[in-house]
């Protein structure tokens, strides 16, 4: 059953008349992963921000984005904030900027859970400790006492994922969550998201410019270029039978990149 359906989503900058999103439509069912792929500036982040009402006032959004039958583009601020807080959580590229440098990680995670889940401090603490362990952090009580700058990018990203999972939303939107991480940590975080999706039945929108990651993680893929929908379908279909030149180009470049990478590894080993 689909519970998020985006229909003819468009967005224009009223100051310049520039069309930033042009007639986008897609759906997501429970426990599905949609990968949104496209090069930098193609409108990936704007697509999810537009549907969640997170854009500047000069950006005019049309179309519909219904979540459980309610069009989020028509909801008042309070209802929309409730959806964003409890039902749809976002994980960003730069986990560091999501935390306040002046407070410990523990203080911030626990406070967020107290507020969003209406929990007492003790319960919030127990819940976040369990979730931090689930996402593979070790020595959790010590981690809680640290300040954001004392943790690595990978650890901060795990904290973000832990808080999203603790809230148990219907959808997690991960906007290039691994771009700032090194290759090994990237792989671990993707593996983690994959497991969480299967374990907890949370739907995932995974935004990336990396086709390989999308191929591993997603059920459906949505390819964007310059604000337009270039291709949309199951991962198998789009990767095996790409319809348009842009997708073919992306797949070709991806193949070339991994070929070069494999060659390099072979050379190292020989
Ligand atoms: N606040 C803004 N006001 C107007 N245009 C913006 C704003 N932020 C981004 N844009 C434009 O929207 C387009 C899509 O941006 P974005 O969705 O961030 O791309 P992506 O996430 O695919 O890299 C870009 O061309 C960018 O210039
Ligand atoms: Mg972006």
pLDDT, tens digit (0-9, with 9 covering 90-100), for 55-102 = 999 999 999 999 999 999 999 999 999 999 899 999 888 888 889 999
Our mutation pick for probing the ligand 1 site, out of 46, 49, 56, 173, counting the most ligand atoms within 8 A of Cβ, is 46
**pTM attached to this predicted model:** 0.89
Report the pLDDT averaged over residues 158-162: 92
Greater pLDDT, 196 or 33: 33
Q: Which CATH class is domain 2-262?
A: alpha beta
Residue 217, pLDDT above cutoff 70: yes
Distance from the alpha carbon of residue 121 to the mean position of ligand 2, in angstroms: 35
Torsion of the alpha carbons at 134, 135, 141 and 143, rounded to the nearest 10:
180
- Sorted by where each begins, the domain ranges of the chain are 2-262
**Predicted local distance difference test score (pLDDT) of residue 106:** 97
**Distance from Cα 54 to the centre of ligand 2, integer Å:** 13
Q: Does the pLDDT at position 148 exceed 50?
A: yes
More confident residue, 251 or 110: 110
Lowest mean pLDDT among 95-109, 219-233, 243-257: 243-257
Q: Using one digit for the tens of pLDDT, what is the confidence trace for 230-243?
A: 999 999 999 889 88
Q: What is the pLDDT of residue 261?
A: 53
Arithmetic mean of pLDDT over the chain: 90
Q: Which stretch of 13-17, 168-172, 196-200, 220-224 has the lowest confidence by average pLDDT?
A: 196-200
pLDDT category at 270 given cuts 50, 70, 90 is: very low
């Amino acid at each position: 059953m689909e519970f998020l359906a985006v229909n003819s989503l468009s967005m224009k900058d009223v100051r310049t008349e520039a069309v930033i999103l042009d007639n986008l439509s897609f759906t997501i069912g429970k426990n599905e992963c949609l990968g949104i792929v496209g090069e930098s500036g193609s409108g990936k982040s704007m697509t999810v921000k537009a549907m969640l009402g997170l854009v500047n006032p000069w950006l005019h959004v049309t179309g519909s984005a219904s979540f459980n039958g309610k069009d989020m583009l028509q909801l008042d601020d309070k209802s929309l904030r409730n959806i964003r807080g409890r039902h749809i959580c976002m994980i960003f590229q730069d986990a560091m900027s999501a935390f306040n440098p002046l407070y410990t990680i523990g203080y911030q995670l626990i406070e967020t859970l107290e507020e969003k889940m209406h929990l007492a401090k003790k319960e919030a603490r127990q819940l976040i400790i369990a979730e931090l362990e689930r996402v593979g952090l070790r020595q959790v009580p010590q981690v809680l006492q640290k300040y954001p700058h004392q943790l690595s990018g990978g650890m901060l990203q795990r904290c973000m994922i832990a808080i999203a999972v603790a809230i148990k939303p219907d959808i997690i939107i991960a906007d290039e969550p691994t771009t700032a991480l090194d290759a090994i940590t990237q792989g671990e975080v993707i593996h983690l998201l994959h497991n969480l999706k299967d374990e907890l039945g949370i739907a995932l929108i995974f935004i990336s410019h990396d086709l390989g990651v999308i191929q591993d993680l997603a059920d459906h893929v949505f390819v964007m270029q310059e604000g337009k929908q270039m291709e949309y379908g199951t991962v198998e279909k789009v990767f095996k039978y790409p319809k348009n030149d842009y997708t073919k180009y992306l797949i070709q470049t991806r193949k070339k990149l991994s070929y070069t990478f494999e060659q390099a590894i072979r050379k190292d080993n020989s």
